[in-house]
Amino acid sequence: MAGRPGRRAVPYVFLAPAVVLFTLTVLVPIGYTVYLSLHRSQVSGLGLGRGARTEVFAGLSTYREALADPEFWRGALRVLGYGALLVPTMIGLALLFALLLDRPRVRLARFSRLSIFLPYAVPGVVASLLWGFLYLPSLTPLPVPDDLLGPGLLFAVANIGLWGGVGFNMVVILTALRAVPADVYESARLDGASEWQIAVWVKTPLVMPALVMTSIFTVIATLQVYTEPTTLRPLTNSLPSTWTPLMKIYSDAFERGDIYSAAAGSIVLAVVMLTCSLAFLRVIARRGFTGEQR
């Protein structure tokens, strides 16, 4: 009987390192960011030294300033256009490649899978530099009012994300297709369905959970787009340091030195990502994976 309490504590002992690591690397930074977002730096007197700046409680005023900043909304519009280009195209191509590779008797199937997946293994910075030098002769946006959507630059950044992300999503969808019993496809063929009809009416509904998961991951990655435009920025004078909300947060924190505004902007961005993900999941849950209204 005396050994039972010790045995009950064994799982907690094994979990303790992971819990401590998660707390130190995730929960503590989040808590500190929330703390910073509720404060601001106030300059007292006429001094310009460090002693003249004090940290004061600002409440929600930092959030109001972050939401009222026009650069934040310009970046949000660019990300919205970027996502409208990237998300449906990436998921559509990934599904198309997965369906093509899942056909019976596909020639060079392993080579094709590796070729499609290989760009995902290339680091984002390297891929952006590679495409940036290919774009270099014409890496300028078309003239539009206020330079909000610069179509040429927007397509250039979206193409880099598309090139690097299709392979990963294709592998996820193809894995889901391979998990479906072959009897399902044989039954459809015996009923007279063609390979095209099987792909559209049998395979696609069956991999809907994988499509939902890859769509959510792609939306989150779209809202966090940073590497591609930041890497392309030295190659063109048409890309400002606040091209996306995440770039603006970095600019506020490390170029302007205003970590309080940067903290508020990061919290706003995190809430937007959480809201979009939950809303997307809610819509999917209401309709069901088969697309039928419950």
The DSSP symbol for 106 reads -
The pLDDT of residue 145 is 37
The pLDDT of residue 98 is 94
Of 103, 218, 210, 212, nearest to 161 by C-alpha is 218
Q: Which CATH number fits the domain that encloses residue 264? A: 1.10.3720.10
Any domain includes 29: no
The pLDDT of residue 175 is 93
Show pLDDT as tens, one digit a residue, over the chain (294 residues).
455 666 788 888 899 999 999 999 999 999 999 999 998 887 665 555 555 678 788 888 889 888 888 888 888 998 998 999 999 999 999 999 999 998 878 788 889 899 999 999 999 899 988 888 887 765 554 443 333 334 578 888 899 999 999 999 999 999 999 998 888 888 888 888 888 888 889 999 999 889 988 998 898 889 889 999 998 888 877 788 889 999 999 998 898 888 999 999 999 989 988 888 888 778 777 766 544 443
Host domain of residue 237: 64-287
CA distance 199 to 180: 13
| Residues constituting the chain | 294
DSSP letter string over 232-281? HGGG-TTS-TTSSHHHHHHIIIIIS--HHHHHHHHHHHHHHHHHHHHHHH
pTM value? 0.80
- Cβ of 232: how many Cβ atoms within 10 Å? 23
Contacts of 289 (CB under 8 A, 6+ apart): 205, 208, 209, 212
Number of structural domains the chain divides into: 1
Any domain includes 255: yes
Any domain includes 45: no
The pLDDT of residue 3 is 52
Any domain includes 227: yes
**Based on the number of CB atoms within 10 Å of its own CB, is 210 exposed (0-12), middle (13-18) or buried (19 or more)?**
buried
What are the phi and psi torsion angles at 288 (to 5°)?
85, 165
Alpha helices in the chain (DSSP H): 4-22, 28-37, 61-68, 70-101, 109-117, 124-135, 151-178, 182-190, 195-198, 204-206, 208-223, 227-232, 245-250, 259-287
CA distance 187 to 55: 70
The pLDDT of residue 138 is 54
Any domain includes 103: yes
Most distant CA pair in the chain, distance: 86
Any domain includes 292: no
Any domain includes 21: no
Q: Count CA atoms within 13 Å of residue 25 on its CB side.
A: 6
The pLDDT of residue 144 is 37
Any domain includes 119: yes
Of 54, 62, 65, nearest to 37 by C-alpha is 62
